[in-house]
Structure 1
Amino acid sequence: MHRVAFGAQVCGDLGEGSVREWLVPDGRGGYAMGTVSGLRTRRYHGLLVVAGKTPSLRYLGLASLDPVVTLASGTVVRLGTHEWADGTVAPAGHRFLSGFELVDGLPRWRWRIGDVVLERELAMVHGRSSVAVVHRLLTGGPVSLRLEALCTWRDVHAERTAGSAEPEVTEVAGGCVVEGAYRLRGPDFRGAGAWFRGVRHREEAARGLTPTEDLWYAGSFHAELRQAGDTASVSAWAEDLDVVPEPAAAVVSSARTRNRAVVAAAAPGGEAQATLALAADAFVVETATGPDVVAGYPWFGAWSRDTMLSYEGLFLSTNRAEQGRRLLLGYAATLSEGMLANTADTGSVEYNTVDGTLWFLHAVGRHVAVTGDNDLAAELLPALRDVIGAHLAGTRYGIQADPADGLLRQGVPGAALTWMDARVDGEPVTPRTGKPVEVNALWINGLAMMIRLAWQVGAGAGQAALAHSAALTSFARRFPAKAGLLHDVVDGPDDDVLRPNQLLAWSLPYAPLRPSPGALQIIGAALMTPLGPRSQAPGTPGYHGSHGGPQASRDRAYHTGTVWPWLTGPYVEAWRRLGVSAEQTLSDADGHLGEYGLGSVSETADGEAPHGATGCPFQAWSVAESLRVRRLS
């Protein structure tokens, strides 16, 4: 595993220690998440975030568990760290941190107060909304330890304030139940009951969102740590409140054992690959309806495009084929009018992508190619034929193979159907109406996959063979532009803005064209950064090099210059088609594993140096594509 560890200079600096975030998932879409310094910088940070019926419906419960140490001298030292609405940081427990590290993917902090060293470890029960927090005296003592529980119960995307009703806290054996939703258990619980008003989240302020909330001080747990090795632990869990989890120390030990097994099952080839294999585990979840993929933490749920684009990296590169098989069958059941449901974070089923279904064809094809599972191919073949037929006849949003040339066209006013789907004031930033290059590369790839699957199970390919021949011929005629590059969109009218989408036309298994070295060199020179390609070349109309500020500013920059690490996969694969190694491109990003979302890869980064990470600190397709191309190297 790539070692992630920081000393006092990082942990004790709220600038350095608060931009590095850790994540512990529960395997259901819930999580614990925070920063190295202990400061909660996002509304999404907390020790118990509970997933609802879907991964996108999450609720924050236990926000913080603040240690307060009383030394033998009577001196009281508060080790929590909070920022308030006026900018004050108090208490400032980060100043006592001597170190932070990830051990088998789990966070560990150590505070030093003179000769007293207190350690905290944290883990979640896989498959249950349950967190365990263990405190251990390493040196010094005796000390008295108080653990103050700051609580709420709210949607993670919102805030709760003292203007609302006080949370209902019911004392039970060993602790309390908050709002009937989750339970806290630990040593010598003493109820309290007071609002902590004006807790500030600096990252939400930077994003132009409401930056403050109020937290409820539900009570505290108390223990005497008399000698090195003594521990005090608190557990918090939702659902089945009468079923007490195993002891906290055992939860931590079990989580470490499981994480090591996850890495071993993926058979990684190096430190970075081992780290990415464990990172991938965070996104694969089991829900009430079966396996699914969380697109990114902390705010995304499941999106079909992200799931299918990530499929090979998350499932086939980590030896999760059986779980992946169930996922593919589950998603196939959502097909309607030849389109895969994009069950995003709206709480309703939507059909609003042109490429999500094509990535589904790709995922099925790769699954069968890697596993030899012809039974799955035979089971899904009728549905895949329906997909092809619907795209040839025409389906929602003007999506149809043009009868004149066989290329796939899409788009209606106000819609943004490709992966470059950001909108501001309801209008697409990059509408790309017409025939986008990567959509048609995926269309041709999907048709070829369909032909291959039909052949493998001894069935006819139906309309796919003729459709593939027509589209392949037309692609070679319509998309080439100057210097070996490809148009980004044709018939929309033609769009020659230099974007990375053309990489898919050279990198997919059944790519329609072979790249030229000169074209890849032009793309590399204009788009490549240490974290991956920019979404648009600097100096072109509408380019934005900074991805930050309020939502409208971020959305304008989202696909107009912002770096997308997932595109490293197609870039590396395109060079490999020419027999050229791109190992340096992969190793350039290794340092990122300890910069932002620790042990993972971010969603995006600024287009301009130093390419600070932005977006979700933990993003599924960024991890999946990096893992996929590394496993193939």
Structure 2
Amino acid sequence: MLQLQPETLSNLADLESREWLVTNGIGGYACGSVSGLLTRHYHGLLIAALQPPLARTLLLTKLDEQVETASQTYALQTDRWANGALTSLGYRLIEQFRLEGTVPVWTYACGDARLEKRIWMAPGANTTYVQYRLVSASQPVTLTLKALVNYRDHHSHTQAQDWQMQIEAGSDGLKVQAFDGATPFYLQLPGAAVALAHSWYRGYHLAVEAYRGLYPYDDHLHAATFTARLVPGQPLMLVASTSPRPDLDAALSHRQQYEQALVERWSASLSQPSPAWLNQLVLAADQFIVDRSVAGQPGKTVIAGYPWFTDWGRDTMIALPGLAIAASRPEIARPILRTFAQYLDRGMLPNVFPEASETPAYNTVDATLWYFEAVRAYYQATQDRALLADLFPALVDIIDWHRRGTRYQIHLDSDGLIYAGEPGVQLTWMDAKVDDWVVTPRIGKPIEISALWYRALTSLTLFAQILERPADPYQQLAAQTRQGFQRFWQPQRGYCYDLLDGPTGPDDALRPNQIFAVSLTPDLLPAAQQKAIVDTVAQQLLTPYGLRSLAPDHPNYHSRYGGDRQQRDGAYHQGTVWSWLIGPFVQAHLSAYRSPAAARQLLQPLADHLRSGCIGTLSEIFDGDPPHLPRGAFAQAWSVAEVLRVYRMSVSCSALGERGGGDGEDFSPI
């Protein structure tokens, strides 16, 4: 259980900067600020995935709650308006906030009454449950809920004007249809009196959207008011769903049992007791794994981050070893690997599946190479020779396409290194682009791409040997790459070029990408060079929450991430800290220093972060300069995954002794 400290609850700035998230396993979610203030376009109690896992649509925004005792009425909501006014101030009544698993729980003090509220979602359904329980009171209270609804893409905003929704009373609730052809949704509170309404509340001010330089206002429709008597020991539960007949008896205990089983499975797989904060991350990992059908057949995929990302090829392959393998759920990886294999085209995986179900975009050079890494981690965990045999032809095809050349000038050059890029296209994970401006184009030979290529070749060599197929061609290619890779080393600086053979020559900027030359494989660089890279990155790029994307002494360094789209994307990979990079750094540190205890200590600040940002999970990015405030997506798959992965790796190394293995020990997943 994670609980916020009392001093946090008394400060509105602290409360509105902390958020909560629940998900349904098909792309839908609910989220908000702990304070109850709407601060993002994405905040809502039911954001339904109408075409799972996409077409995410805000349906139920919030419930304005009012508790009436014998002597006083208490409004629990807090609102900020376009004119700057702050009304209701219900956040002052929050006596406690905690997570029970992934379920957020508020305790409100209303005179002598103590009211608990819990929110969760039904797995596999666009259904949210909001439960109210009177923990203690001298007598029953009256609970009034104003339901504020919408019907818009979760990225968007509403200017209502004269929009008329269709609202119909029904058994224990109401049906809302935003317009003809819209998916209807239903609000039910058994035993409550329901008064229909149709009143637009206009001009909510969204502070985070203002910070991000976006339109910071929104309108929501008061659709109905529910009134019910709340008695100690007799909880009330409002259900919001796209189903006219949702499961009204969905016990909270079902979710609690499910989450307990996930934690027990993780803990049982470790050779030492798991800290509570790691158990929480195991539950956070589950929030990113969602269903995706392919050609009418059920499959799985990974949501890259909440609230705005969809399933990205690169993010999925980087995250999969942590979300599935490290979390002791390898069966999750199998359908995901199969799902993405069906989207391979010209030796490339899609970079992103657009929200509007358009053709997948293939603008990535590294997603396909990370696919090898995910397959390798899966095989190590399962010894699933059948799946390996099924995927092997596709893996061979990927190598062949890179040898002869594919999109965007991606090809194997004569020095054994991978060239990629052309003007106007962003292909590596440093992929920010504003209109026609590619912020970090990295045209040429990015260091991590050739490191991944080498790792893919050694993986394919291993797979060929397991399947008794010819392996010599891949061994020869790997030897060529290992020899050519020395071109990256800068002896005068003691670290590697970030890029070779670019339009203006090599790029000597100190970036974190060279850490992959150490973390992915033990033999791509000499040991002395590997240690020098780890030391240099630690001195200039390491922060408590991950690695900076650019050294602070570089003229393009940005210390703070914020502002409009051009300002934000201009800083995205120019100094901003990325928490997922703590994974490869810890792995490289293990390789260089053989100290699992020191490696685990590097993860501790992220444990502390679970009580800031989005409670119970890890943020995508942080400011480059102290105090390194969390930014970007408030819950990021690869951030969570990499911490789980390298924590498990450090435990495995501890089991071998504090030395972490013998000389030349390979700290990669297999």
Normalised to the residue count of structure 1, the TM-score between the two structures is: 0.96
Q: Is the 8 A contact 1:450 1:464 kept in 2?
A: yes
Q: Is the 8 A contact 1:28 1:55 kept in 2?
A: yes
RMSD: 1.6
> Which residue of structure 2 lines up, in the alignment, with residue 245 of structure 1?
247
> Which residue of structure 2 lines up, in the alignment, with residue 408 of structure 1?
418
Helix, strand or coil at the partner of 2:30: strand
More deviation in 151-160 or 583-592? 583-592
Q: CA 1:449–1:397 in structure 2 vs 1: closer, same or farther (change >3 Å)?
A: same
Helix, strand or coil at the partner of 2:389: helix
Q: Is the 8 A contact 2:586 2:646 kept in 1?
A: yes
Q: CA 1:293–1:314 in structure 2 vs 1: closer, same or farther (change >3 Å)?
A: same
Alignment pair present for 1:377 and 2:394:
no
Helix, strand or coil at the partner of 1:330: helix
Q: CA 1:195–1:117 in structure 2 vs 1: closer, same or farther (change >3 Å)?
A: same
Q: Is the 8 A contact 1:304 1:341 kept in 2?
A: yes
C-alpha distance in structure 1 between counterparts of 2:347 and 2:134, whole Å: 60
> Which residue of structure 2 lines up, in the alignment, with residue 321 of structure 1?
330
Structure 2 matches for 1:452-463, cutoff 5 A?
452-461=462-471, 463=473
> Which residue of structure 2 lines up, in the alignment, with residue 339 of structure 1?
348
Picking from 293, 297, 309, the partner of 2:306 is 297
C-alpha distance in structure 1 between counterparts of 2:417 and 2:508, whole Å: 18
Deviation, structure 1 residue 476: 2.4
Alignment pair present for 1:158 and 2:161:
no
Helix, strand or coil at the partner of 1:494: strand
C-alpha distance in structure 2 between counterparts of 1:175 and 1:305, whole Å: 43
Structure 1 residue identity aligned to 2:23: P
More deviation in 612-621 or 117-126? 117-126
Deviation, structure 1 residue 511: 5.6
> Which residue of structure 2 lines up, in the alignment, with residue 391 of structure 1?
402
Q: CA 1:516–1:469 in structure 2 vs 1: closer, same or farther (change >3 Å)?
A: closer
Picking from 603, 609, 622, the partner of 2:639 is 622
| Structure 1 stretches lacking a partner, 5+ long | none
Alignment pair present for 1:262 and 2:271:
no
Helix, strand or coil at the partner of 2:577: coil
**What percentage of residue pairs aligned between the two structures are identical?**
39
Q: Is the 8 A contact 1:161 1:213 kept in 2?
A: yes
Q: Is the 8 A contact 1:481 1:487 kept in 2?
A: no
C-alpha distance in structure 2 between counterparts of 1:261 and 1:476, whole Å: 47
Alignment pair present for 1:353 and 2:364:
yes
Helix, strand or coil at the partner of 2:64: strand
Structure 1 residue identity aligned to 2:400: G
Q: Is the 8 A contact 2:347 2:399 kept in 1?
A: yes
- What are the Cα deviations for residues 458-498 of structure 1, in whole angstroms up to 9, with x where unaligned? 11237423221211111124445434311100111111100
> Which residue of structure 1 lines up, in the alignment, with residue 460 of structure 2?
450
> Which residue of structure 1 lines up, in the alignment, with residue 234 of structure 2?
230
Helix, strand or coil at the partner of 2:460: helix
More deviation in 342-351 or 467-476? 342-351
Q: Is the 8 A contact 1:49 1:59 kept in 2?
A: yes
More deviation in 307-316 or 484-493? 484-493
Q: Is the 8 A contact 2:53 2:291 kept in 1?
A: no
> Which residue of structure 2 lines up, in the alignment, with residue 272 of structure 1?
277
Deviation, structure 1 residue 339: 0.7
Q: Is the 8 A contact 2:67 2:110 kept in 1?
A: no
Deviation, structure 1 residue 46: 0.7
C-alpha distance in structure 1 between counterparts of 2:195 and 2:348, whole Å: 55
Deviation, structure 1 residue 12: 4.1
Q: Is the 8 A contact 1:300 1:345 kept in 2?
A: no
Picking from 566, 573, 577, the partner of 1:563 is 577
Structure 2 residue identity aligned to 1:364: V
Q: Is the 8 A contact 2:52 2:291 kept in 1?
A: no
Picking from 432, 435, 460, the partner of 1:422 is 432
Deviation, structure 1 residue 541: 2.3
> Which residue of structure 2 lines up, in the alignment, with residue 64 of structure 1?
62
Structure 1 residue identity aligned to 2:236: A
Q: CA 1:621–1:136 in structure 2 vs 1: closer, same or farther (change >3 Å)?
A: same
Helix, strand or coil at the partner of 1:405: coil
C-alpha distance in structure 1 between counterparts of 2:230 and 2:607, whole Å: 40
C-alpha distance in structure 1 between counterparts of 2:632 and 2:418, whole Å: 31
Q: Is the 8 A contact 2:127 2:246 kept in 1?
A: no
Picking from 81, 86, 94, the partner of 1:84 is 81
> Which residue of structure 2 lines up, in the alignment, with residue 18 of structure 1?
16
Helix, strand or coil at the partner of 1:276: helix
Q: Is the 8 A contact 1:159 1:213 kept in 2?
A: yes
Structure 2 matches for 1:5-154, cutoff 5 A?
5-7=4-6, 9-73=7-71, 75-140=72-137, 141-154=139-152
Deviation, structure 1 residue 45: 0.6
Deviation, structure 1 residue 308: 0.2
Helix, strand or coil at the partner of 2:202: strand
C-alpha distance in structure 1 between counterparts of 2:205 and 2:473, whole Å: 58
> Which residue of structure 2 lines up, in the alignment, with residue 183 of structure 1?
186
Q: Is the 8 A contact 1:504 1:511 kept in 2?
A: no
Structure 2 residue identity aligned to 1:383: A
Deviation, structure 1 residue 65: 1.2
C-alpha distance in structure 1 between counterparts of 2:287 and 2:246, whole Å: 24
Picking from 493, 518, 527, the partner of 2:541 is 527
C-alpha distance in structure 2 between counterparts of 1:500 and 1:415, whole Å: 21
Picking from 471, 484, 497, the partner of 2:494 is 484
Structure 2 residue identity aligned to 1:341: P
Picking from 287, 295, 302, the partner of 1:282 is 287
Q: Size of the alignment, in residue pairs?
A: 624
Deviation, structure 1 residue 518: 3.3
C-alpha distance in structure 2 between counterparts of 1:183 and 1:478, whole Å: 59
Deviation, structure 1 residue 447: 0.7
Q: Is the 8 A contact 1:109 1:120 kept in 2?
A: yes
C-alpha distance in structure 1 between counterparts of 2:406 and 2:99, whole Å: 48
Q: CA 1:173–1:462 in structure 2 vs 1: closer, same or farther (change >3 Å)?
A: farther
More deviation in 301-310 or 13-22? 13-22
C-alpha distance in structure 2 between counterparts of 1:149 and 1:255, whole Å: 25
Deviation, structure 1 residue 92: 1.4
> Which residue of structure 1 lines up, in the alignment, with residue 203 of structure 2?
198
Q: Is the 8 A contact 1:285 1:292 kept in 2?
A: yes
Deviation, structure 1 residue 509: 4.1
| Structure 2 stretches lacking a partner, 5+ long | 178-182, 651-670
Helix, strand or coil at the partner of 2:219: strand
Deviation, structure 1 residue 320: 2.0
Deviation, structure 1 residue 103: 1.1
C-alpha distance in structure 2 between counterparts of 1:216 and 1:6, whole Å: 34
Q: CA 1:464–1:119 in structure 2 vs 1: closer, same or farther (change >3 Å)?
A: same
Structure 2 residue identity aligned to 1:560: Q
Deviation, structure 1 residue 93: 0.9
Alignment pair present for 1:517 and 2:537:
no
C-alpha distance in structure 2 between counterparts of 1:218 and 1:273, whole Å: 41
Q: Is the 8 A contact 1:448 1:510 kept in 2?
A: no
Q: CA 1:164–1:409 in structure 2 vs 1: closer, same or farther (change >3 Å)?
A: farther
Normalised to the residue count of structure 2, the TM-score between the two structures is: 0.91
- What are the Cα deviations for residues 294-330 of structure 1, in whole angstroms up to 9, with x where unaligned? 0000000100000001110011012221221111011
More deviation in 449-458 or 97-106? 97-106
